[in-house]
Amino acid sequence: MKYFVCADIHGFYDEWQYALKEQGFDINNPKHKIIVCGDLFDRGHQPKEIIDFILSHKNKFILIRGNHEDLMQEMIDRNFNLRHDLLNGTAYTILDLYPDWQITEFNLKKIAKITRLQEVLDLCIDYFETKKYIFVHGWIPTKENTKEYDKNWRNASKKKWEDARWQNPVVMFKNKVFEPNKTIVCGHWHCSALWHAQNPELYEEFGPKENFTPFVTKDIIALDTCTAYTKKVNVLVIDDIKILNQNKINSNHRQIEKVKNLEK
């Protein structure tokens, strides 16, 4: 099975489709599946296209819940938007799906059902795990109020999973909060921050030396391209044994060496 892994699409359907096509995804190939490590909506303006694509091919998808899925569900359940729903783009996703919602219909639960948004939210899970990989949004849950590894993270409470979706992978990387003998694949925080944290002299978060290609080590693979800024989506093709391919990896020889080491 080939998993086409991505994260933080944030409403940019066209850019997502371009990246999937570039990596050879075939919707008709039974051995091809897509894993999205959270944050499907709330930046770009194509939520309808994303919903239609997912629900037309539900058997192709493994959807990991992101903090933006939590924000959306909270707003729907609350039935009104707050200031942070505007700042995070959550309310604007509803406007893209249902432009007259504030004028003709204020029942967000009904709108979520009509637009099939709720169906997509209900498909989301906290994490997905294979023999070699753990797929999450921010990170796995840690010990209470700490940045320390918790061996019982799989049994974490709903609240701890919600908190984990806001965890900064850069902080987890610096504190070496890893799962033994597995690679954590995540989104949530732009790859360039991890490249900068690993080598601040060679990379910067934003600017001439920014690097939004996937950040790959034996312990972590980070995928968030800061799509609203770059207008790009990273798609990484992996199976349960080794990394098979990587978006634009030939542009970074050091990254190629990391992948080769993982394949051994």
In the structure, what pLDDT confidence band is assigned to residue 262 with cuts at 50, 70 and 90?
very low
CATH number of residue 192's parent domain: 3.60.21.10
State both tokens at 195: 């490249």
**What pLDDT, on the 0 to 100 scale, is given for residue 257?**
37
Do 38 and 7 touch, CB atoms closer than 8 A?
yes
State which amino acid sits at residue 160: K
Q: Has residue 250 got a pLDDT over 70? A: no
Q: Is the pTM of this model over 0.85?
A: yes
Query: Would you state the pLDDT for residue 223?
Result: 98
**pLDDT number for residue 247:** 40
Range of the domain at 252: 2-263
CB 193 within 8 A of CB 170: yes
Give the pLDDT band of residue 106 (cuts 50, 70, 90): confident
Question: What's the pLDDT at 251?
Answer: 34
C-alpha span between 105 and 153 (Å, rounded): 41
> Region 98-124: what's the mean pLDDT?
86
pLDDT of residue 163: 95
- What is the model's pLDDT at position 99? 83
Helices of type H across the chain = 13-22, 47-56, 67-78, 83-87, 90-97, 101-104, 108-114, 117-123, 158-164, 169-174, 191-198, 227-230, 253-263
pLDDT digit string, tens, across residues 18-57? 999 999 999 999 999 999 999 999 999 999 999 999 999 9
Q: What is the mean pLDDT of the chain?
A: 89
- pLDDT value, residue 260: 38
Reported as a single tens digit per residue, the pLDDT across 151-201 is 999 999 999 999 999 999 999 999 999 999 999 999 999 999 999 999 999
pLDDT of residue 88: 92
Q: What is the pLDDT at residue 146?
A: 76
pLDDT tens-digit readout, 189-233: 999 999 999 999 999 999 999 999 999 999 999 999 999 999 999
Which whole-number Å values give the CA distances from 33 to 53, 139, 243, in the listed order?
13, 22, 15
Structurally, how many domains does the chain consist of?
1
CA atoms of 32 and 29, how far apart (whole Å): 6
CA angle 210, 213, 216 (to 5 degrees): 115
Rg of the chain's alpha carbons, rounded to an integer? 18
Q: What strands, in cross-sheet order, belong to the sheet with 61-63?
A: 61-63, 32-36, 2-6, 236-238, 243-246
Provide mean pLDDT across the span 82-87.
93
pLDDT reported for residue 5 = 97
